[in-house]
């Protein structure tokens, strides 16, 4: 499995997720020889194996379809026994998040848990994304200039006087992913378009239209709320040889008919160029710098099976190098390099400014006779985006509102939880009004379930998080994986700016529920470590969840002393090293990050190609 020494690579890419796959494809089409080092196993010829694992799992966790296996002998697999470990939401409970034998990420426990996870397999984390493909609003790139908060990006939405902008690259990314949306729904908060989306929008659900009708004249903080269809990386018509979305409410963790985009689509195109090769089960562990300050080679270890022994080690050299291993694994690799002195870190910012979208979740039950029929259609087809920007951002975090089509599945694990309540005479869901201990069966059970499950809905508030250097990824000095490499150690907390935004989200949820005449059932869970008291001293607790939007840790900027890479995602310290993905984001904003990181990746691919031409 070691690298073919006869393959003279122009570029080595670490990671085959969306950033790595997009760059590999563009370089391959330009005739560049590209070698990808992928830590995980090769994707099977079809997804039957993934689907079978998901169907038979007793717990439908986000990561469950994929390898490595989450359980060994009915216990969470000890990360020290796995070659390419990964976190799981199952280790984020009160009893697990501080246990290294269960949690791959070592969390210090001094503040709050970091709640997001990622994959280390062919295709990366985007395998279990929802498909949401929103553009950032123009203000997101200029938080310091407009609101006196955080830092500005080194590029803008529209082209600036240096011709640096993302607008055209967003359009290219939407074509590559295959985004379904309508321009008229997305032209708001300064977002403008020069061309249409590749496909029409996914139809709205009954939940969407019901909320839309109710809030048509509703304002919050002087801002009119409007339900808009959500741009989605799934097919509303045949595209890229993928099927049309059939409405399975299973986008996360896996689309059963592959109507949703994932990086394997782009990676297959890259491999078909004949200029791209990939090494699976290959873990990069050292980026070696020469006397001139350029990357000379990347060292790696290979293995055959998830829990099997290493099968070899080697290094690979090229003209340019791209690290595309996500915002946790990329800083981990940089910090492991050069005998743990670190690479690309003259600013001291590698691993710092870790961000996510802390998610506030609220759920309610519509009145009888006003059914919204959840559990059909994609997980989400619409949202309220009007609170993503405003003057309030000088004081507190913005957020977007995602409308869920999956009832109370996310909040409490329905329809299973409520069904078991009625059968066993329990009331975990708070919906069982039958006398305690009395179970329901047969027609009575069916009638009862039809009466409540058809009225469930939830809202998810993706809240902007401030970039703070104290939130960071470092290396554990004690805990390793099976290859003997240090595992990532996480320090994480939420600022008052972010907590204020979450408190506002809570108010907006109640406002919308009241307008709908719905009964709210949102409650903080006593055993959830991801919660905080707000206001301080009030005794009121707010739960939050990870969104899987891991951002920051090697930010871009205009100054090498305050950033790790420039606007081209090129290292300030090593001119043939590019660090790509959402780790370069100076701020997290409010939009799901995938479309923006894809646009940045396409732009960087062009810059790499130009740099290679000039050599």
- Whether residues 171 and 195 share a domain: the answer is no
Instruction: Kindly state the average pLDDT of the residues 59-66.
Output: 90
d(CA 615, CA 209): 56
Asked which of 543, 559, 574 is the last residue of a domain, the reply is 543
Residue 45: per-residue pLDDT:
84
Q: Is residue 380 part of a domain?
A: yes
- Whether residues 133 and 174 share a domain: the answer is yes
Asked which of 543, 576, 603 is the last residue of a domain, the reply is 543
pLDDT at 2 > cutoff 80? no
- Whether residues 386 and 515 share a domain: the answer is yes
- Whether residues 366 and 431 share a domain: the answer is yes
Q: What is the total residue count of the chain? A: 615
- Whether residues 8 and 134 share a domain: the answer is yes
Burial of 317 (C-beta count, 10 Å sphere; 0-12/13-18/19+): middle
Q: Is residue 396 part of a domain?
A: yes
- Whether residues 408 and 532 share a domain: the answer is yes
530-534's contacts with Cβ under 8 Å and 24+ in sequence apart are 530/92, 530/112, 530/113, 530/115, 532/112, 532/494, 532/499, 534/499, 534/502, 534/503
- Whether residues 174 and 320 share a domain: the answer is yes
Q: Is residue 252 part of a domain?
A: no
Q: Is residue 256 part of a domain?
A: no
Residue 209: per-residue pLDDT:
98
Contact call for residues 11 and 318 (beta carbons, < 8 A): yes
Contact call for residues 121 and 66 (beta carbons, < 8 A): yes
Instruction: Kindly state the average pLDDT of the residues 303-307.
Output: 91
Residue 289: per-residue pLDDT:
98
pLDDT band at 562 (very low <50, low <70, confident <90, very high): very high
Residue that wins the pLDDT comparison between 278 and 95: 278
Q: Which pair of tokens denotes residue 210?
A: 């019901």
pLDDT band at 435 (very low <50, low <70, confident <90, very high): confident
| Mean pLDDT across the chain | 95
Q: Which CATH number characterizes residue 86's domain?
A: 3.50.50.60
Q: Which CATH number characterizes residue 413's domain?
A: 3.30.410
CB atoms near residue 81 (< 10 Å): 14
- Whether residues 173 and 225 share a domain: the answer is no
Q: Is residue 133 part of a domain?
A: yes
- Whether residues 281 and 325 share a domain: the answer is yes
- Whether residues 429 and 378 share a domain: the answer is yes
Q: Which residues pair with 312 in a beta bridge?
A: 302
Q: Which residues pair with 570 in a beta bridge?
A: 578
d(CA 607, CA 601): 10
Number of domain units in the chain:
2
pLDDT at 561 > cutoff 90? yes
pLDDT at 522 > cutoff 90? yes
Q: Is residue 245 part of a domain?
A: no
d(CA 334, CA 316): 16
d(CA 85, CA 27): 29
d(CA 168, CA 177): 15
Instruction: Kindly state the average pLDDT of the residues 218-222.
Output: 96
Burial of 9 (C-beta count, 10 Å sphere; 0-12/13-18/19+): buried
Residue 3: per-residue pLDDT:
66
pLDDT at 161 > cutoff 80? no
Q: What is the pLDDT of residues 348-403, one digit of tens each?
A: 999 999 999 999 999 999 999 999 999 989 999 999 999 999 999 999 999 999 99
Domain enclosing residue 31, as ranges: 1-178+261-355+475-494+549-615
pLDDT band at 159 (very low <50, low <70, confident <90, very high): confident
In terms of pTM, does the model score above 0.85? yes
- Whether residues 18 and 136 share a domain: the answer is yes
Helices (H) and strands (E) in the chain, counts: 13, 23
- Whether residues 105 and 159 share a domain: the answer is yes
Q: Is residue 446 part of a domain?
A: yes
Q: Is residue 341 part of a domain?
A: yes
pLDDT band at 122 (very low <50, low <70, confident <90, very high): confident
pLDDT band at 436 (very low <50, low <70, confident <90, very high): confident
pLDDT band at 262 (very low <50, low <70, confident <90, very high): very high
Residue 451: per-residue pLDDT:
96
Residue that wins the pLDDT comparison between 306 and 235: 235
């Amino acid at each position: 499995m070691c690298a073919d020494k006869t393959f003279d690579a122009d570029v080595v890419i670490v990671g085959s997720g969306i950033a790595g796959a997009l760059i590999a494809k563009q370089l391959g089409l330009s005739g560049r020889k590209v070698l990808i080092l992928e830590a995980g196993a090769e994707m099977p010829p079809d997804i039957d194996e993934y689907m079978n694992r998901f169907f038979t799992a007793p717990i439908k966790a986000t990561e469950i379809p994929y390898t490595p296996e989450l359980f060994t002998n009915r216990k969470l697999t000890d990360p020290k026994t796995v070659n390419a470990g990964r976190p799981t939401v199952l280790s984020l409970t009160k009893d697990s998040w501080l246990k290294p034998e269960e949690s791959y990420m070592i969390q210090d426990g001094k503040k709050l848990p970091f709640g997001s996870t990622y994959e280390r397999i062919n295709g990366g984390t985007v395998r279990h994304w929802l498909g949401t493909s929103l553009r950032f609003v123009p203000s997101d790139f200029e938080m310091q200039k407009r609101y006196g908060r955080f830092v500005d990006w080194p590029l803008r939405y529209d082209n600036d006087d240096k011709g640096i902008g993302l607008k055209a690259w967003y359009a290219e990314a939407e074509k590559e992913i295959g985004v379904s949306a309508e321009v008229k729904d997305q032209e708001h908060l300064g977002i403008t378009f020069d061309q249409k989306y590749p496909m029409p929008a996914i139809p709205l659900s009954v939940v969407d239209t019901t909320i839309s009708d109710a809030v048509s004249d509703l304002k919050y903080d002087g801002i009119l709320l409007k339900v808009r269809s959500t741009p989605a990386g799934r097919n509303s018509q045949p595209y890229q040889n993928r099927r049309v979305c059939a409405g399975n409410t299973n986008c996360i963790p896996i689309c059963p008919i592959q109507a949703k985009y994932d990086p394997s689509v782009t990676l297959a195109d890259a491999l078909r160029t004949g200029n791209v090769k990939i090494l699976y089960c290959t873990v990069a562990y050292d980026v070696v710098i020469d006397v001139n300050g350029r990357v000379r080679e990347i060292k790696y270890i290979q293995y055959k099976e998830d829990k099997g022994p290493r099968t070899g080690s080697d290094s690979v050299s090229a003209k340019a190098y791209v690290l595309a291993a996500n915002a946790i694994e990329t800083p981990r690799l940089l910090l492991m390099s050069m005998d743990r002195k670190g690479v690309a870190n003259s600013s001291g910012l590698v691993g710092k400014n870790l961000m996510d979208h802390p998610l506030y979740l609220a759920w309610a039950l519509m009145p009888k006779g006003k059914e919204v029929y959840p559990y059909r259609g994609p997980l989400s087809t619409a949202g309220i985006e009007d609170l993503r920007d405003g003057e309030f951002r000088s004081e507190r975090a913005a957020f977007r509102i995602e409308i869920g089509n999956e009832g109370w599945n996310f909040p409490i694990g329905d329809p299973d939880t409520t069904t078991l309540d009625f059968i066993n005479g329990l009331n975990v869901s708070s919906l069982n009004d039958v006398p305690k201990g009395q179970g329901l069966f047969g027609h009575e059970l069916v009638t009862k379930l039809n009466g409540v499950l058809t009225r469930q809905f939830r809202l998810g508030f993706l809240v902007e998080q401030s970039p703070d250097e104290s939130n960071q990824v470092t290396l554990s000095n004690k805990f390793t994986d099976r290859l003997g490499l240090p595992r990532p150690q996480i320090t994480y907390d939420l600022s008052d700016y972010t907590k204020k935004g979450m408190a506002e989200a809570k108010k907006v949820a109640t406002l919308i529920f009241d307008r709908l005449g719905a009964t709210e059932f949102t409650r903080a869970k006593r055993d959830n470590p991801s919660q905080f008291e707000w206001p301080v001293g009030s005794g009121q607790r707010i739960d939050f969840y990870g969104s899987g939007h891991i951002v920051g840790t090697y930010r871009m900027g205009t100054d090498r002393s305050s950033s790790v890479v420039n606007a081209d995602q090129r290292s300030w310290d090593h001119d043939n090293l590019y660090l790509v993905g959402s780790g370069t984001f100076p701020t997290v904003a409010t939009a799901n990050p995938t479309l923006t990181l894809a646009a940045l990746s396409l732009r960087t691919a062009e810059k790499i190609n130009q740099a290679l031409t000039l050599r």
